[in-house]
Amino acid sequence: MALQYNYPPEITGKRKLYSLINGVKDPLGVINGNHAMMGDSYHLRTAFTNKHFIFSRDKEFIEYILKQNHKNYFKSEIQSVTLGKYLGNGLLTNNGKDWLKQRRLIQPGFSKVKITNLVSIMEDEIDKAFRSFNDETEIDLYEFFHTLAFNIVAKTLFSSDIDEEKVKELGKIITEIQEIFAKEVRIPFYTQALNILGISDKNIRKSKQAKNIIQTVLEKRRNSEQEKNDLLDMLIHAKYEDTQLPMSDEQLVDEMLILFIAGHETTANALTFIFFEISKNTDAEKKLKEEIAAEGEHVFNPESLMKKSFTINVIKEAMRLHSPAWAIDRQALEDDSFKEYSWKKGTLIILYIAGLHRNPKYWKDPNAFIPERFDSENAKNFAYYPFGAGPRLCIGEHFAMMEMALIVRKFYNNYSFISSQNELQNIIAKTNCPKKQN
The per-residue pLDDT for range 5-62, each reduced to its tens digit, is 999 999 999 999 898 888 877 889 999 999 999 999 999 998 777 889 999 999 999 9
Strands 52-56 and 348-351: parallel
Are 206 and 176 within 8 A, CB to CB? Answer: yes
Neighbours of 226 (CB within 10 A): 12
Please name the CATH architecture into which domain 13-432 falls. Answer: Orthogonal Bundle (1.10)
- With cut-offs at 50, 70 and 90, classify the pLDDT of residue 438: very low
Rounded distance between C-alpha atoms, residue 204 and residue 210, angstroms: 10
Are 2 and 14 within 8 A, CB to CB? Answer: no
Are 416 and 402 within 8 A, CB to CB? Answer: no
Dihedrals φ, ψ of 419, to 5°?
-85, 135
Average pLDDT over residues 255-269: 85
Which helix (H) or strand (E) element contains residue 45?
strand 41-45
Q: Residue 140 has what DSSP assignment?
A: E
Rounded distance between C-alpha atoms, residue 342 and residue 66, angstroms: 17
Per-residue pLDDT tens for 120-160? Answer: 999 999 999 998 887 677 888 888 999 999 899 989 988 87
Nearest to 386 by CA among 354, 363, 419: 354
Instruction: Determine the residue type at 311.
Output: T
Q: Where are the domains of the chain?
A: 13-432
Are 128 and 240 within 8 A, CB to CB? Answer: no
Are 252 and 341 within 8 A, CB to CB? Answer: no
Per-residue pLDDT tens for 82-118? Answer: 777 777 777 777 888 888 888 888 888 888 888 888 9
Residue 193 confidence (pLDDT):
65
Rounded to 5 degrees, what angle do the CA atoms 112, 118, 121 make? Answer: 160
Q: Residue 132 has what DSSP assignment?
A: T
Instruction: Determine the residue type at 17.
Output: L
Dihedrals φ, ψ of 314, to 5°?
-60, -45
Helix (H, G, I), strand (E, B) or coil at 251: helix
Q: What percent of the chain has pLDDT over 70?
A: 92
Is the per-residue pLDDT at 189 higher than 70?
A: no
Are 34 and 357 within 8 A, CB to CB? Answer: no
Q: Work out whether the CA dihedral 344, 348, 353, 355 comes out positive or negative.
A: negative
Question: Concatenated DSSP letters for 149-211?
Answer: HHHHHHHHHHTTSS-HHHHHHHHHHHHHHHHHHHHHHHSTTHHHHHHHHTHHHHHHHHHHHHH
Per-residue pLDDT tens for 282-312? Answer: 999 999 999 999 999 999 999 999 999 999 9
Rounded distance between C-alpha atoms, residue 231 and residue 255, angstroms: 11
Spell 394-403 as b/e; 16+ CB within 10 A means b: bbbebbbbbb
Helix 96-106 × helix 249-280 angle, to 10°: 70
Are 413 and 437 within 8 A, CB to CB? Answer: yes
- Alpha helices by DSSP H, listed for 72-140, are 77-80, 84-87, 96-106, 112-116, 119-130
Rounded distance between C-alpha atoms, residue 139 and residue 417, angstroms: 10
Rounded distance between C-alpha atoms, residue 374 and residue 376, angstroms: 5
Residue 191 confidence (pLDDT):
64
pTM greater than the 0.95 cutoff: no
Q: Residue 375 has what DSSP assignment?
A: G
Residue 373 confidence (pLDDT):
97
Residues forming beta bridges with residue 429, ordered by sequence position: 139, 419
Are 124 and 155 within 8 A, CB to CB? Answer: yes
Are 287 and 370 within 8 A, CB to CB? Answer: no
